[in-house]
Structures are given as C-alpha cells and as structure tokens.
Structure 1
C-alpha cells in the first residue's frame, strides 16, 4: 500500500454523465429499531477503542411551520457550516466559491477554493469550521480536484493547505460530508466512486467514514492504529450528525432498494456492496436503523436537535424526521414537501434549523429564487 504522508493513496476513477430524477414515489417505509453486529468473519477492520465523546444540543426544537428565507439565487449549494457569530458559510459545488450568509444581509463571496474540478456529483462539497476558529481561523473543505477528492484547510485570507488526499473520484459516489465531532476530530464521509469493492478494502479511503486529526492525520484511538478508517462498508455517505450523548449517525445512499440511516460505531462494517439494507447481521455486518426506498429519500445532510433526527432528502424532495430513543432512530415522518430537492440541514447554535435546496444541480425542477436557504427558528 502506497502512503502519502499518513494518507491512504487510491487511484482516481473516471467521469460519467449526470442522471435525471425519476421513478414514481412509493409510500412504504421500512424501519428497524435494531443496530446489530454479528460475529461473522466478513468485516476487515476490528472494533477499536476510539476516544469516548460527549455532545450537547441547543435547547429548543425548530419550528417547521415558521420558515424564513435567508438567501436565494445560490448555484448548487452543498456544504454549510456556522461561524462563531452565527453567520453561515455555504459552498457552491460547481463554482468553487464560498459565500457568507447572514440573515437580513446580502450574500458575500468570501473565498474561492482553487483547483475545483466540478463534474457530475463532484465539485466543492462539504465544509467544516474549526472548533477553535476564534483562535486559528481555519475552515475545512472537501472537494473534487483533477486527480482525486481531497480535504484542505485555510483561513479566509490565505491559500489552502491540502491535509488529506487520494480519495478516488468519479462522476458519482464522491461522498463529501465533513464535520468535527464532539471529540474535536474531523469525520469524513466518502463514497465508493462507483466501485463497490473499495468499500470493503481497508487500504482504500473510499466507501468509509474516516476519523482524522485537525491536521489530517489518522486520529488516535482509531480501530486500526495508523489508519484513518473509522467504519467501512459504505456506498456513499452524505450526512453525519451526533446526538446529545455523542453517538454518531450517518446517512447513506442505497442503490436500487434501500437508502439508510446508520448508527456508526468504530470498526463496524456496514456491508456494502455485499448487503444493501437489512439482513447482514448474521454475517458480521451492522444493519441500518432506518431504510427507505430511494424514490422517497436519497438522504443527504442530517442534523439532530434534542431527540429528533432531521434528514434532507434529494430525490424524495422532503425533510424526514425521526425520533431518537437511547440511540435508536424510529417513528419517521415526512415534512416540508414544498421546496423540492433538499441537500443540507444543519442546527445553528441558537437552535434554529437551516435547510438548503438543491434544485439547480441538474436533477431538480428549478423554482423561482432557487437555490435557497431556509431558516426555521427554535421555539
């Protein structure tokens, strides 16, 4: 295995054409209240001793009946992250630009990430703001370059520094969500870049959730020392969020049958491409907690406030909510079906829920003002 610094190296794959949204919606939702892991021999990464984390959520619950538009006419918004003062940074996937969003003020372009090679689902994707932003000023971005998907960090007045690269790219399944966990480590959701075997290969960063230090090195306490891999067997991770007890949940695109919400634990194998949806526990894989047909989901960003999980659905064109009970997601319900494709959902420090539409991404029906950011205040 070739190593670049401490980064796993992977060969980049080629491009492909965008698809169009299609397929009739169905109304059956399959739910599991079990996140199981059997004792089979399939998984290739052993459970580890990742650092325990704790988390907290703002008081209050977003009022989904009181949405207010805070920005419009954004081109394919993808990542969204909050600055300490409450303003948000939003990434435009195709342009490589980062905009500053402040309610009641005009959009402000504050940075352009160099080297973004937008094609298909690739481009400027996830954003994260350093937990020590007030001291170091760092913003992190996951983007598609000419050769691969990579992560950079930068200050808004300085060039970027590559901290992790070698994540294979393709026209789809580029992953891209990044977020700092309650433990201060950077978590990264990647896709299989169209080759499912990568998801089961512990030497590939694709089809994984990675756990990195803020400098881009494998985080201490990962399941395999010296490896960035936190969990494997994923097809295309699109959302990461923690509940108030510090438990990690992830949203994942399925193929033909089942999209998933998984509770992520270190070293677990979530089955792709050997399993889609339920049914892998007897072979040592971990089953999802919630599954949907792709026609009503295609889950992207997720967020958690109090005991509610929020899931932005692209093809499903709705916001799914689910209740969390001691780390188990259940009781899903569809909300906000009037905005079209939904890409990112995030909870601000004041408890408000911010939601981005994704109707200008080549697969949606564009509405006046798209794409937009809608804010739902806490009550």
Structure 2
C-alpha cells in the first residue's frame, strides 16, 4: 500500500512537470511587474522588463522551447524564460572578434524540428590581422549547441559587416552582408559583400538561385541590419544609409538596390541617369534625417489588432520603435507610428512570440550610446503585451503615448540641423566618441579658417583604424546634399558652442567652396 502511494505521487509530480513544460504560454501570468502602459486605439499595452544586465544583445529569437534565445555581441548565446526571467548560458564562441560594431551578430533558429540547427554570424580576426565574417551552423540538443560547421567565410572590415540571418518558408538560409566599407563591393556580382545571400542548410548553393553557382540573392546593399519574412513569404530588410536615406526594402530574387550609385528614391539627376541604365528596386520607405534602423519583425496576430500586418522596426539613432503599416499586397507602407522615442535608448532587435507578445532588446552598452544612457541594469529585454481586461497596473507605471510621423519641416536653425545630422556621432556635448568620431569642442579644424572645415562637410573623410597616426577610425560621409544656408548655419553653430569661439561662416563662403 505504501509503495502504491509513492508510485501515485511520482506519477502526479511527473504529470505536473510535463504540463509546466508544455503549458500554453497564455495560461500563465508573468512574474515581472508592468512598468509602463501604452494606449492604442482599443488595446492597452503593458511594458515590463524580463531580463537585464545584458551585454549588448544583438539578436533575440523565439526558441523551440518557448524561451527567448539571444546573442550578446561579446560572443555568448543564452536563453531566458520570459515568465520567470531565469537566464541560461548555452554557448560561448571563443573566436569572436568584438570591436565597435563587430562581434557576434545575427542568429536564426531553423523552424523544422527535423533540422535542429542554429545559424550564427560573427566577425573573426585572423592571425594576419585581417577581419572576416563567418556563418556557422550549430546543432541544438538538450540545451547544448554542438558540432559547429563553417558554412561561409567572407571578407570583413572594421565596419559594415551586416548582418542578419533568416530562414525562408522553403527552409533556405538568408544572410545579409554589409559592403565591408567598400562601396564597389555592393553591385559587384563577384563579391559576397553588400548582398543578401541564400544558402542551403549545408552551405551549398541552391539550384534555383538567380545566378548559377552563386550565393547572391540580391545586391546593391550598404549595410542591412534587419531581415524578416512575412506570412505571405515576402522578405523585408532594413538598411543603413550614409548621410541620408536609411531604407526599408522589399527583397526580390535577383534584385538590384542601387548602392552606392543610388541612395533612396533616385531623386537626383545622377541617380536618375544611373537608374535609366541599370534598373533598380526603390525602397518602400526612406528616412532623411537618418534613424539608424536595426532589427525588424512582422506582426500578424489578433492579440494586438492595431498592429496586424505591420512591420515592427527598432532604431538606434532615433531610439524608438516604428510601427509600419503595410497594404494588403505588402508592397507599400501606408502609415507609420513612432513609439518610446528616447525612453529606452537604442533598440537593437525584436521578436514576436507565438502568442503575439513583442520582445525588444536595447543596445545601450554598445560603442555609441545616446545621451543619458546606459541606464542602470542596461541592457534589457522588454516585453510588450496586451493587458487583460481588469488587469491591475502599479500606480508607478508610466503612461506612454504614440505619435504619428512628423511632417518634415524646413529649418535653418544650426542647433536643429546639428541634432538631425551630426549629434549621433559627435554627441550633444561636442565631445565625439573616442577612437571613432572626433570631438568638435576645442577642435582647431572647427575654429580655424573656413575652407578646411567646409570642405570636410562637403566631401566627408575616410576613417582608418589601421593607421597608427589616425586617432579616429569611422568614416564621415559627405553632406553636400545640404543647402549652402544649412551648412552655414551648422558651421556657425559648432564654431560657437561648447566653449568654441570663432567667426560665422556665411553662405557666400560655402558657395565658393562648393565650386569645382
């Protein structure tokens, strides 16, 4: 009798444990308190933190075990239980090379249970100091990532290495690559840089790729930071522009997207001429001033009906979540809403659970944090979910509001123009970013004679981290698209801010320097 009772107890415990592991996520309350709310048209959203003190989570993905898997730029892959916040380290990749934008980047988990593969992309430093990007496949078994298989290795650089990984509806691997800071790579069919690549899961070239024997799926990209398929199988990419025209592109087989001859919509005479000779696919949306778009995901759930058939886009420079409403054919953006501007800092990536909850990873401990960041316990993974009817919210919860995309307003305010085009790199205090972007405060180039400063703004500068005599490694794009009066306003502002004192530079001087 005693043995029967013990056996019954064991069965009950096993059954309870099995239910806990296989439970529907919607039946369990989350442990984390609601920190803020957001009222949409009919739905009230609650925002809470499910993980904190992370080291730049670059990719987050919903795992096969109903937990959130994430990469950290330093080289680790972990997962976190969204209900309890308990984290578990899965893998440390020792040969990851992290520096500024380099490190462990994109990751994708194959949805086919018969193919328990995890694909990751990271930068590596060779013994000869050359940088490469590697796409590696791991096999997932019982909380272990093992059997690494190098699928692809391509040239890298100190910037513009991409990258995101996505799995297509037909089970292929899509990898976005940056142009490795070499403009000529992007259109070149012989280069794998500046492309969206398509591979079989074993690293071979699919037979139906547009160029036989070539991984290339599309070309003419500068530095894609987000990649996602919709429910209709459409592939979208978010892409960093240079000084103008960050882009949202719908990626098509064999498509040419114009970089570096075309930025945005081909609205300059030279761009139109190039487009006439080399047909290109224009972006669905372009942003100037730039917003630094990052990770992107597609929302098609009923839980937040206001977001159904929307792309959710995190941004770095704009430090906000953009909700991009698509039309039925998914070939146009019909509306845009901006959420959380400046509230949580840089938003690197996001994912959507099968229940329709949204998770967002901040990126405030990376190389270029915004003013006032990182916050204590950054970086974090946030949960955005519809509140249940009657669900109590702490009195301390902050009420957020949504805003429509503001219409562009012409301005000749030096402070406003600086904020739009210069502040992300040179910072609000003019101190720049060590080893990346030079300070403007106390800089002789800024306060000296007009021609060198104006020429730098008009033509840009090339960074060089390999040059021991160069203190700043990041490139500065040309801002010759700005009007003469706008450049005059910016130069006057920076020459008389942060303790600088120098004469104004007039429009006539700008016009003179612009002439060949």
**Alpha-carbon distance in structure 2 between the residues aligned to 1:197 and 1:99:** 37
Tell me if 1:141 matches 2:120. Answer: yes
Q: Tell me how large the CA RMSD over aligned residues is.
A: 1.8
Q: Which runs of 5+ in 1 are unaligned?
A: 1-60
Instruction: Note closer, same or farther for the CA distance 1:248–1:359 as it changes in structure 2 (3 Å cut).
Output: same
- Compute the displacement of 1:170 (Å): 1.4
User: What residue in structure 2 maps to residue 151 of structure 1?
Assistant: 135
Once structures 1 and 2 are overlaid, which stretch shifts more, 279-288 or 136-145? 279-288
User: Is the contact between residue 254 and residue 294 of structure 1 (CA under 8 Å) also seen in structure 2?
Assistant: no
**Alpha-carbon distance in structure 1 between the residues aligned to 2:42 and 2:294:** 19
Tell me if 1:248 matches 2:260. Answer: no
User: Is the contact between residue 121 and residue 134 of structure 2 (CA under 8 Å) also seen in structure 1?
Assistant: yes
Tell me if 1:70 matches 2:50. Answer: yes
**Alpha-carbon distance in structure 2 between the residues aligned to 1:216 and 1:88:** 26
Q: Which has the higher contact order (CA 8 A, sep 6+)?
A: 1
Instruction: Note closer, same or farther for the CA distance 1:65–1:378 as it changes in structure 2 (3 Å cut).
Output: closer
User: What residue in structure 2 maps to residue 369 of structure 1?
Assistant: 377
Report matched runs for 1:183-198 at 5 Å.
183-198=170-185
**Alpha-carbon distance in structure 2 between the residues aligned to 1:213 and 1:375:** 33
Q: Which runs of 5+ in 2 are unaligned?
A: 1-40, 127-131, 301-308, 388-516
**Alpha-carbon distance in structure 1 between the residues aligned to 2:205 and 2:338:** 38
Greater per-residue strand proportion: 1
**Alpha-carbon distance in structure 2 between the residues aligned to 1:64 and 1:288:** 32
- Compute the displacement of 1:120 (Å): 2.1
- Normalised by the size of structure 2, how large is the TM-score? 0.59
Tell me if 1:118 matches 2:98. Answer: yes
**Alpha-carbon distance in structure 2 between the residues aligned to 1:322 and 1:157:** 35
Instruction: Note closer, same or farther for the CA distance 1:239–1:62 as it changes in structure 2 (3 Å cut).
Output: farther
Once structures 1 and 2 are overlaid, which stretch shifts more, 184-193 or 78-87? 78-87
Instruction: Note closer, same or farther for the CA distance 1:62–1:195 as it changes in structure 2 (3 Å cut).
Output: farther
Greater per-residue helix proportion: 2
**Alpha-carbon distance in structure 2 between the residues aligned to 1:175 and 1:347:** 22
Q: Any idea what SS the aligned residue of 2:66 has? A: coil
User: What residue in structure 2 maps to residue 360 of structure 1?
Assistant: 365
**Alpha-carbon distance in structure 1 between the residues aligned to 2:281 and 2:172:** 23
Runs of 4 or more above 4 Å deviation? 61-64
Q: 1:331 aligns with which of 327, 335, 341?
A: 335
**Alpha-carbon distance in structure 2 between the residues aligned to 1:374 and 1:63:** 18
Instruction: Note closer, same or farther for the CA distance 1:294–1:151 as it changes in structure 2 (3 Å cut).
Output: farther
Q: 2:148 aligns with which of 160, 176, 193?
A: 160
**Alpha-carbon distance in structure 1 between the residues aligned to 2:108 and 2:43:** 25
Q: Which has the larger radius of gyration?
A: 2
